[in-house]
Amino acid sequence: MATDVPPPSKGGSEPTPVTPSTEEFVAVQQSAEFGELRTAHRSFAFPLTIAFIAWYLVYVLLSNYAGDFMGTKVLGNINVALVLGLAQFLTTFLIAWWYSRHAASKLDPKADAIKSRMEGGA
């Protein structure tokens, strides 16, 4: 049977994290600091998710209903549909990169503070 408590560290340099109780988890979840973390995540992730889904649906609708426009040649055999399709990949990677930067600068410090306090490191 597995336990939630990790084995003690060797050398004694790092303290063994304490497993918080259910009441402690609930208290942290209801704290203002956790609310700020949740708001920081949601205020970034939700608008970008909605914008990307809208951008994707525009592409799909254009592909279905604006065939002449999507078939317009841009350069050689490259048409608008190919450019917009490749732009879908580009925006996916840009959003992932942007979220990574946002998380590292805004979310991770708050989450680490909460985690260290929960594990008894504060």
User: Can you give the pLDDT at residue 68?
Assistant: 95
103 lies in a domain? yes
77 lies in a domain? yes
Residue for token digits 């979310």?
107
63 lies in a domain? yes
Give the ranges where 18-122 is alpha helix by DSSP (H): 22-29, 32-65, 67-70, 80-102, 108-118
65 lies in a domain? yes
118 lies in a domain? yes
Instruction: Name the domain count of the chain.
Output: 1
Query: Average pLDDT for residues 40-68, to the nearest whole number?
Result: 96
Using DSSP, state whether 9 is helix, strand or coil.
coil
More confident residue, 12 or 80: 80
19 lies in a domain? no
More confident residue, 81 or 9: 81
pLDDT band at 101 (very low <50, low <70, confident <90, very high): very high
User: Can you give the pLDDT at residue 122?
Assistant: 46
101 lies in a domain? yes
User: Can you give the pLDDT at residue 45?
Assistant: 95
Q: Which domain holds residue 73?
A: 44-122
